[in-house]
Amino acid sequence: MFERNSGIPIDLGWVSRSCVNEQAVKGRIQDLLSSRFVHPDHQIDWLARSIQCIDLTTLAGDDCPSNVERLCSKAASPLSDNVIGSLGINHGLLTTGAVCVYPARVANACQGLKRIGTNIPVASVATGFPTGQTSLKIRIEEIKFAVKDGAKEIDIVINRELALGQKWGELYNELVEMRKACGESHMKSILAVGELCNLTNVYRASLVAMMAGSDFIKTSTGKETVNATLPIGLVMCRAIRAYNRKTGFKVGFKPAGGIRTSKDVIQWMTLMKEELGDEYLTPELFRIGASALLNDIERNIASHITGDYFLAEEMPMA
């Protein structure tokens, strides 16, 4: 275990001095993709490990108790019994990192997980997700509502207007208020990187979110035009590393939005391993926000085990 990030007073000098060389970021990602491979013999282990880091998500307008219950069952038993048996893992030991739902569905998720008898945490998006376009008062109330209903993790969205206007002090103050409203529940700050215009803003927003006490920084809501990309992920990982060196606090990273395939997951895990080290490849410090990824992982693990090719529709719905 490690100490939770309590945040630090805002350091505006550090924020405004920080600039990102976009060409160097692209070069580093190209180098990573061309020089680091996971040996096929180890891919099953990596994929099984990735499942523990998934925030299994449903964020649809037609979410209702029954589909949230199904999501909870899938989170508690992400792989079929025969696949689990072949991996030599005891049933019930492999679960996703969390279940992620809208605030109105937190109570359903908590009940569903309790019925199954698992302590998988419920995460909830809040603060006017995905845009945050409402008053601070209402955004704070929404956090409190989700916490009261049992959410142990709150995925808040940052105010993009403040970030784009370089109003870092104001953004920090909003985030500090949100962190207070989260209480013991962990705050995962969504930067909505696709709307931040450039990588320097991504780096600066990452620093401000961590200074305000975020437990995780997260790329995207999944609703922006550009969501999680590896260059953006690299910039956020570097900010996490710099913050850790300066303060000693470890802040987690959550790429989210458009992550659909086993190949994507292995690339994200490679980035984490190379940039932050193995200790960050745990559910405490790494999550993948995804609504449509588990099916592909299960299909790949089943294919590795049996040597047969499976169609997506042959797998139970993820």
User: Are 97 and 317 contacting, i.e. CB atoms less than 8 angstroms apart?
Assistant: no
Asked, as a colleague might, if the bond just before 130 is cis with ω within 30 of 0, I would say yes
The single-letter code of the amino acid at 117 is G
CA dist., res. 128 & res. 277, Å (int): 34
295 binds ligand G3H (CB under 6 A): no
- Among positions 209-268, residues that touch ligand G3H (CB under 6 A) are 221-222, 256-259
Catalytic residue among 74, 188, 250, 254: 254
Quote the least distance from Cβ 13 to ligand G3H, whole Å.
32
Task: Please identify, using beta-carbon distances, which residue of 26 and 223 lies nearer to ligand G3H.
Answer: 223
CA dist., res. 125 & res. 141, Å (int): 13
Taking the CA atoms of the chain, what radius of gyration do you get in angstroms? Answer: 19
Among 57, 96, 159, 295, binds ligand G3H (CB under 6 A): 57
50 binds ligand G3H (CB under 6 A): no
Catalytic residue among 148, 218, 250, 263: 218
Active site (annotated) includes residue 188: no
68 binds ligand G3H (CB under 6 A): no
Task: Please identify, using beta-carbon distances, which residue of 79 and 100 lies nearer to ligand G3H.
Answer: 100
Task: Please identify, using beta-carbon distances, which residue of 10 and 53 lies nearer to ligand G3H.
Answer: 53
83 binds ligand G3H (CB under 6 A): no
Task: Please identify, using beta-carbon distances, which residue of 222 and 252 lies nearer to ligand G3H.
Answer: 222
Active site (annotated) includes residue 218: yes
User: Are 125 and 110 contacting, i.e. CB atoms less than 8 angstroms apart?
Assistant: no
Q: What is the largest CA-CA distance in the chain?
A: 57
Among 270, 291, 295, 300, binds ligand G3H (CB under 6 A): 291
32 binds ligand G3H (CB under 6 A): no
**According to the 3-state scheme, what is the secondary structure of 131-174?**
CCCCCHHHHHHHHHHHHHCCCCEEEEECCHHHHHCCCHHHHHHH
Under 8 Å CB-to-CB from 45, ≥6 apart: which residues?
A: none
Which residues sit at the interface with ligand G3H, rule CB under 6 A?
57, 59, 100, 221-222, 256-259, 289-292
Catalytic residues: 218, 254
